[in-house]
Every structure is written in C-alpha cells, then in structure tokens.
Amino acid sequence: MSQENRTNRRTYIKYTGAAAIATLAGCSGGGNGDTGEAEPNHEVPHPDDGTVPDVEATAVAFEGEERDPDLVQQKDADAVNYQHTPEGDQYCGNCEEYVPDEDGDGYGACLKVAGKIHPCDWCALYVGPYEGDDVASCSM
C-alpha cells in the first residue's frame, strides 16, 4: 500500500469513526436520556404556575362549561399524572377541558387541573379530541 493510500485510509477511518460516534450520540438527542421521551418544547416548571390569571380562572373551556377554581385537582395527583409533553396526538390544546389562553402568555387553564396549562402538555383526564376551529395547536 502506498503512503498516499495509507493516508487516505486513515483519513476515512478517522471521519467515519467520528460520524458513527455522532450518530450514537444523536440517538439520545431530543430525549431525556432515561426514558426516550421527547423533551418539553416550553419552560418547565411553568412560570408562575400557581397563578391562573383572573381572565382564565372562571373562563369557559372548549366543552362549554365554566371553570370553577375550587373544583380542580393538583397536577401531581395520582389520577392526573400530568406530563409536559403530548401523549401521541393527545395534548391539552385539543382537550375538551382546556380553557384557552386569554392573556397572551402562551398558557391556558383547565376545568379539572390546577395551575397554568401549556397546550403541549397532557394528563390522564384528557377528553377529546376537541375539533373546533379554535383548537390550540402544539407543534413539537
């Protein structure tokens, strides 16, 4: 093998090896490293999560019922099992219980769950999908 061929072979191995390592590293990219689930596309925990603005606290959900702040469960309740990513094609923004964002902060509220609700979140109380024109999109 000529000197030039050896050099080319070393260069090939160097770059294909680096590409293989990058590919392996990429397998965990975008996931949380432990479960393989997608990372949230918004701030977690939600800013000022405990403060649902007045304009949403008693507003009407997609399903047509007015929210009662005294009738919500906490996000960490076993029955709620709240998560900060969609569950397949189910997410808060297309849930019948979602109260749309009224103050422009990107978070709405929920008939059943306390705190601010991001359209890309999900919980075990999901009902839907809501298919109205005003559905809140989630592009992950």
Q: Which is nearer to ligand SF4, 52 or 95 (CB)?
A: 95
* Sequential DSSP letters for 28-86: HTTB-SSS-PBPPSS-SSPTTTT---HHHHT-B-TTSPBP-GGG-B-TTSTTT--BSS-
5: part of which helix (H) or strand (E)?
helix 3-28
**Nearest-approach distance from CB 27 to ligand SF4, in angstroms:** 29
Pick the piece of the chain touching ligand SF4 (CB under 6 A) from 32-40, 50-58, 63-71, 117-125: 117-125
The pair of three-digit structure tokens given for residue 83, joined into one six-digit string: 């998560």
Closest to 108 in 3D by CA, of 78, 69, 70, 136: 136
**Nearest-approach distance from CB 91 to ligand SF4, in angstroms:** 7
Pick the piece of the chain touching ligand SF4 (CB under 6 A) from 6-14, 15-23, 34-42, 107-115: 107-115
CA dihedral of 58, 119, 137, 54, whole degrees rounded to 10: 30
From residue 35 to residue 74, the character string flagging contacts with ligand SF4 as x (rule: CB under 6 A) and all else as - is ----------------------------------------
**Nearest-approach distance from CB 92 to ligand SF4, in angstroms:** 3
**Nearest-approach distance from CB 53 to ligand SF4, in angstroms:** 16
Instruction: Assess 98 for contact with ligand SF4 (CB under 6 A).
Output: yes
Whether cis (ω within 30° of 0) applies to the bond prior to 86 is no
Instruction: Assess 77 for contact with ligand SF4 (CB under 6 A).
Output: no
